[in-house]
Amino acid sequence: MDLAFLHPLYEHQGPWASVYVDLSRHTEDTPHERELTAAAVARELAEQGADDATCRAVREAVDELRHATDPHGRALFACAGQVVLDPPLARPPYGGTTADWAPLPHVTPLLDLAGEDPVCVVAYIDRKGADFELRSALGSSDAGGVTGRQWPLHRTSSVDWSERHFQLRVENTWEHNAAEIADALAVCQEETGADLLVLVGDDRERRSVHERLPSRLQERIAEASRGAGSRLLDDEVEGLREDHVRGRAREDLDRFLAARSPDDEGRAGAAEGVPALVEAAREHRIDELLVIPDAPDTHREVWIGEDADQVAVRRTELKTLGEQNSWSARADDALLRSAVMTGAPAISVTPVLPPETDRKAPVGGLGALLRWKCPTRRGPGWGG
């Protein structure tokens, strides 16, 4: 997950209200229920110590969602009486609406609720051209299309020599149109940044387009077995999107598992456990953060200063680093702040944990691929 969109959160000093609003229920009573939710969230934040202005801003923001048509939910991050960021969610919040008040915004749930939502272009292909549809968990929209040559498109049943030239022209039309569709689809992918291309159509038509797509896109292509208009096509496309998420998480976890083993010089390309990750964050060595939200280490207390690289396992360490102000924070929130400010992505490996990887996952639920190898650490308090 590219975390750049979270950058505005770390341009403000906390404390922060972090609210995950469940908008997945849509009934006649929904507006009234959401009005009650807005009041409940404001009370919960006030009980946790939030200031009146921030409680009021959050209540108004949730109240404005009374008639929202979001299919899943919304996250709200607010401080000093202002909602700074309100990204939509690709999945409903686990356990319903939640609210937290803490020194740092609690962004870890976004890795599961909004992080891996692959954008997908569905190409409905026939011999005349193709229509493109852009899909994500938030819905679908028209993404254009292409029209190829219209004649000749159909073979005849004649075997007369005079017809063979016509048959060849039909074949040439099909091949020409497949090439045009492939070119247009490649442009569509580049413009939309789609993670996945799903080809829908007859076997030959799909195959002809597939073969003509650029090599850089071959790993992003999937072919649907259901035809356009099939009731089961939506389920198949959603399954392909989920397979893509699992495949990405599997690749990153495999890279981590390979990199955490020390080389002949005792250096490793990955770290796990809070102490090792805190040190890597201070030195800007985190290349990608791997997280299992709500695993034991995500809740561990660390100490933070005003800057993203001011993070320590013990409060006294911050004073040694020259930081006079310090606050207690969750380890996952502190490490994600560091990742955002140093341009490192993060991913939840939850989709590939059960059952085969649960014993191999990052120790405590937090791990990182490093920008350069470092000697592994062992001893009291060190993970890995």
DSSP letter for each residue of 259-319? HTS--TTSEEEEEESHHHHHHHHHTT-EEEEEE-TTSGGGG-EEEE-SSTT-EESSHHHHH
Q: Model confidence over 76-94: pLDDT tens digits?
A: 999 999 999 999 999 999 8
pLDDT score for 152: 44
What share of the chain has pLDDT > 70, as a percent?
Answer: 88
What share of the chain has pLDDT > 90, as a percent?
Answer: 59
Residue 73 has φ and ψ, to the nearest 5°, of: 170, -175
The encoded tokens of residue 66 equal 């009374």
How far lies 71's CA from each of 66, 89, 90, 93, 118, in Å?
13, 8, 8, 12, 16
Q: Model confidence over 214-269: pLDDT tens digits?
A: 999 999 999 988 766 666 788 898 899 889 888 889 999 999 999 988 888 888 99
Nearest-Å Rg of the Cα atoms of the chain is 26
Residue 379 has φ and ψ, to the nearest 5°, of: 130, 180
Rounded mean pLDDT, 3-25: 95
168 Cα distance to chain centroid:
47
pLDDT score for 43: 97
Q: With contact defined as beta carbons under 8 Å apart, do 128 and 177 qualify?
A: yes
Q: Model confidence over 102-153: pLDDT tens digits?
A: 999 999 999 999 877 888 999 999 878 899 999 988 788 999 888 865 544 4
Q: Model confidence over 292-305: pLDDT tens digits?
A: 998 999 999 999 99
Quote the CA–CA distance of 26 and 38 in Å, as a whole number.
16
Quote the CA–CA distance of 173 and 167 in Å, as a whole number.
10
Quote the CA–CA distance of 210 and 206 in Å, as a whole number.
6
Q: Model confidence over 21-35: pLDDT tens digits?
A: 999 988 888 899 999
Per-residue burial over 82-92, b if 16 or more Cβ lie within 10 Å, else e, is: ebbebbbbbbb
With vertex at residue 375, the alpha carbon angle to CA 268 and CA 334, rounded to the nearest 5 degrees, is 80
Comparing C-alpha atoms, which of 264, 252, 268, 255 is closest to residue 378? 268
Stated pTM of the model: 0.83
Quote the CA–CA distance of 193 and 195 in Å, as a whole number.
6
The encoded tokens of residue 314 equal 């013990």
